[in-house]
Amino acid sequence: MKISVTHYEKTHTFEATQDDLPIGEVLEAMKGLLVSMGFHPHNVDEHFNTEFQWFTEAEQNLCQAWKDMQIDESLASESRAYESHVQEERDKLVEEYQNNLYKEDIDIEALNKNKFEGNK
């Protein structure tokens, strides 16, 4: 039996001396071909339910924990960026309010008059 796969103009081949291989051995050969093509062994293991695994269950759990930690860190980073943006906007509003708080060129009576006339 011979299985060949061409990927990015490079051929990867599995060749057995006999043609009557059990399907489990053929699947193992396919897994090996996928890894030789550049797919990560962990991803190959996730998609094939075979006896042979590139990683033990403990190693897979460690990999998953690392992925989860990266996701948590990414979310925390996004949250910090959002909080920083919100704080900047608050600071701008406070500064604008304080800058306009004691301006003498504002006619308070005219503002109040317009405010009350608008309610009629």
Cα dihedral across residues 64, 70, 76, 82: positive or negative = negative
Please tell me the predicted confidence (pLDDT) of residue 96: 78
Please tell me the predicted confidence (pLDDT) of residue 57: 79
Please tell me the predicted confidence (pLDDT) of residue 85: 78
Q: Tens digit of pLDDT per residue, the chain (120 long)?
A: 888 889 899 998 888 888 888 888 888 888 888 899 898 888 888 887 766 667 777 887 887 887 777 777 777 777 777 788 778 888 887 777 777 776 666 666 666 666 555 554
Please tell me the predicted confidence (pLDDT) of residue 52: 66
CB 78 within 8 A of CB 70: no
Please tell me the predicted confidence (pLDDT) of residue 113: 66
- 118: tokens are 């608008």
Label residue 17 left, alpha or beta by phi (over 0 means left) and psi (-120 to 50 means alpha). alpha
